[in-house]
Amino acid sequence: MPITRRTLIERIDRFIRSIENRKVEPDQWEGRCLKQALADVHDGHVERAEAQMTLAKTPSDLRVSRAPPGVPPDRRKPTTAELRAEFERIKSQAR
C-alpha cells in the first residue's frame, strides 16, 4: 500500500526532530537526502520522497560513500535549522 503524503510529512517531522534532539548537525548524507525528500514532497512525488527518507536513515556504517549518490562531495550540507524551516514551509503549503 502506498504511503500517503500526510504520513510521510509526519515521518519527516519525526526524523528532523530526532536530529534536533541529538544536538548535532546532520551529516552530509542525512542532510542531502532529507533536503531531496522535502523537494520531492513539495513536488508531489511521495514515493521518491519516501525512498530519499529511507536513504537518509541509512546507518553510516552501511553507506557506500560519505555523500549520497548524485551529490558532489564538496557541496555544502544543509543545517538542521534550514531543514526545519523548509519542512515548515512545505507543511504549511500542504494544508
Q: Which amino acid is at 54?
A: T
User: Measured between alpha carbons, how far is residue 50 from residues 33, 54, 88 in Å?
Assistant: 10, 6, 18
Per the CB < 8 A criterion, the answer to whether 52 and 40 are in contact is yes
pLDDT for 9:
94
Tens of pLDDT, residues 53-94: 999 999 989 988 877 876 666 677 899 999 999 999 999 987
Domain that holds residue 24: 5-94
What does pTM read for this prediction? 0.88
The number of folded domains in the chain is 1
